[in-house]
Every structure is written in C-alpha cells, then in structure tokens.
Copies of this chain bind each other. A is one copy, B any other.
C-alpha cells in the first residue's frame, strides 16, 4: 500500500514526497490516444471499464495517486444544461444560462441518478487498485462551472460571467447555490463510492479580485467544503492564477491548497499557513523543456518545500498533450530521489 499521498494530505512524514499530476491520464500518452481513436471523451467518462483503463494507464510512470478519469462538466447534463465537446473548440453548452428563468430551470440533481456512471467507475477502480494506490475523485468549483454555463464554453475574460455577477446579484446567488449544492452532493457521493481524497478545481477563479472572490464566491465554496471535510477525507482546493486569493481560499476550506507556479512554493506555503498541506507547483510547460531543465526545476521545488511534512508535488495546471512521456517519468523519479528522507 502506497500511502504517501494520503499521509502528506494529513501533513504526516513520508519516505519521499508524493507525486501526481493533473491530467496525468491524457493525450500525451500513446495508449490514451489509441483508445481515443475508438471512443469519444464522453464515452470514456460514461463507460466505467474505459474510465478504469484510462485512470490506470499513467500509474506505470510512478505516480503516488490515481485520479479518476472524468470531466468537471459532467454534472451539467443531469442539471439540464447538456453540452458537447466540439472538435478543437472545447466544450459547448447548447443553452447558456443567462437569466433568472434559466437558473430556475436548472435541476439540483441526485448524483446516484444522473452521475451513477462516475460512481460506478470509482467503485470499479477501487476494486482494481486493491488498496495499492489511493484514488482521487474531483469536481469543478462553483465559479468555474458557472463560467461555462454562462459563457456557453471556454472564455478568456469571463465577460458575461462577471457582468451577471455584478448586475444581477440575486440571479448569481441562485445559480451559485444550485451549482454548489450539486457539487457538494457529487463529492459526497464520490467519497461514499470510495474516493480516498477529492480535488475541487476552481481553475478560472483567478480572474477575480480578492474583493469579488470574497463577496461572490467564498460562501459557496465554503458551503461545499465545510460539509465535505466532515467526512474526514482530504480535500484539495485548487486554483490557478490565485496568488492574491490564497488567504481567502484558505478560509473557504481545504485540507490541501493547490497553487500554480506564479509564487515560489515556500512563499505560497507561508501565505497559506503551515497548518495546511500544499500541492504544487511546477509550470506544466516545463515538461516541454529539455529533460535536465525540467528535472532541475522540480528539484528546486522539492528544496523549497524543505521536506516539511505536507507537500504533494504536482504541476500548477494539467499536462499538455505535447509533453514527452519520458520527461514526465524523469520528473517523477527526480522528485522521489531528491526528497529521500
């Protein structure tokens, strides 16, 4: 049983620093691309046997945790806001949510009904992993999910999202309450199905000022995390571009705070407080650099963490498809070697 990851979440000493990477199962791996030739992303998500296969693929690279293969937008369909992945354009939400009536129509769905396939995948993966490697579940955070619902897809500046937030605070609150309740139930259901840790992805919340975060987002994240943390399962609270939100994100909750590369790891940890674990923070694009450069930067992060218990090595965001597998493996090995107790 490799329990480094779970021990680090609880800030207990570990033999070496645990490593997992966001999007560690994905297009940079030949075996994933081969499967994607036969199945769409949503087919893989919705077929537990395929989700199992993809979730396990990267473990041969030496990662200390498996992360469920799924997508943060899966709850949209059972909420009544179906979407598809348009070729090369990312997700497209067919009917964006932009009015009080649109929000009214959204359903606070029961995860066992609308997202049963995710829970089945978790049960299957847990059985297959047989306690050898811990399994991480995850969900999108309310701001990030709301931004897709409102914009109708990926956005660069979240123009419609912010406009709604400032112009119709009641509609915004109603939307955030519905999304938060869905996410809360979904994470709880994942934990009941066997997820041994969960990550809340607030990938896009760094577009907000600290004032707006506190006013329009924090209470909703807290609604989720205050409840999920009572399960005793570690929660990783992740964002990118959130260097000015760290204190507020800490208040919102999380056993572990996930940070990107814009702040050196030791500075970020000091800001968050040493009573929380920290996850990060290699720029994922460094995996495109020559292997020795990527390894040296990874070693630097390990040095900054100083073997203080509670550091989980990760990227600041997901692996990009162009990443060489050999560099990923070299970095995983380098982190383990550099952090040897």
Interface residues of A in 121-176 (CB under 8 A from B): 156-159, 162-163, 166-167
- Cβ contact within 8 Å between B288 and A163: yes
- Cβ contact within 8 Å between B209 and A159: no
The docked-state distance in angstroms from the alpha carbon of A244 to that of B271 is 13
Choose among B162, B208, B264, B322 the residue that contacts A211 (Cβ–Cβ < 8 A): B264
The docked-state distance in angstroms from the alpha carbon of A209 to that of B263 is 7
Q: Which residues of B contact A73 (CB under 8 A)?
A: none
**Nearest B residue to A159, CB-CB:** B285
Cβ of A293 under 8 Å from chain B: yes
The docked-state distance in angstroms from the alpha carbon of A209 to that of B210 is 20
Cβ of A262 under 8 Å from chain B: yes
Choose among B167, B262, B290 the residue that contacts A166 (Cβ–Cβ < 8 A): B290
The docked-state distance in angstroms from the alpha carbon of A255 to that of B71 is 46
**Nearest B residue to A206, CB-CB:** B262
- Cβ contact within 8 Å between B243 and A162: no
Cβ of A28 under 8 Å from chain B: no
Cβ of A329 under 8 Å from chain B: no
The docked-state distance in angstroms from the alpha carbon of A211 to that of B283 is 11
The docked-state distance in angstroms from the alpha carbon of A211 to that of B241 is 16
Cβ of A261 under 8 Å from chain B: yes
- Cβ contact within 8 Å between B286 and A262: no
Count the A residues whose beta carbon is within 8 Å of the partner chain — how many?
30
- Cβ contact within 8 Å between A166 and B289: yes
The docked-state distance in angstroms from the alpha carbon of A208 to that of B285 is 11
- Cβ contact within 8 Å between A263 and B285: no
Question: What is the count of identical protomers in the complex?
Answer: 2
Cβ of A320 under 8 Å from chain B: yes
The docked-state distance in angstroms from the alpha carbon of A264 to that of B213 is 12
Interface residues of A in 261-308 (CB under 8 A from B): 261-264, 283, 285-286, 288-290, 293
Q: Which residues of B contact A212 (CB under 8 A)?
A: 283
Would you give the shortest CB distance from A186 to chain B, in whole angstroms?
Answer: 28
- Cβ contact within 8 Å between A262 and B288: no
- Cβ contact within 8 Å between B159 and A288: yes
**Nearest B residue to A262, CB-CB:** B244
- Cβ contact within 8 Å between A322 and B209: no
- Cβ contact within 8 Å between A159 and B206: no
With A209-B261, A210-B264, A320-B157 as contacts: A166 and B244 at CB distance below 8 Å: no
Q: Which residues of B contact A244 (CB under 8 A)?
A: 243, 262-263
The docked-state distance in angstroms from the alpha carbon of A262 to that of B241 is 9
- Cβ contact within 8 Å between A285 and B162: yes
Q: Which residues of B contact A206 (CB under 8 A)?
A: 262
A sample of 18 more A-B contacts (CB under 8 A), given A162-B288, A243-B243, is: A156-B156, A157-B285, A157-B320, A159-B320, A159-B322, A162-B283, A166-B286, A166-B288, A166-B289, A166-B290, A166-B293, A167-B288, A206-B262, A209-B264, A209-B283, A210-B263, A210-B264, A244-B262
Residue pairs across A and B with Cβ atoms less than 8 A apart, 24 shown, are A156-B156, A157-B285, A159-B322, A162-B285, A162-B288, A163-B285, A163-B288, A163-B289, A166-B286, A166-B289, A166-B290, A166-B293, A167-B288, A167-B290, A206-B262, A208-B262, A209-B264, A210-B262, A210-B263, A210-B264, A212-B283, A241-B241, A241-B262, A244-B262
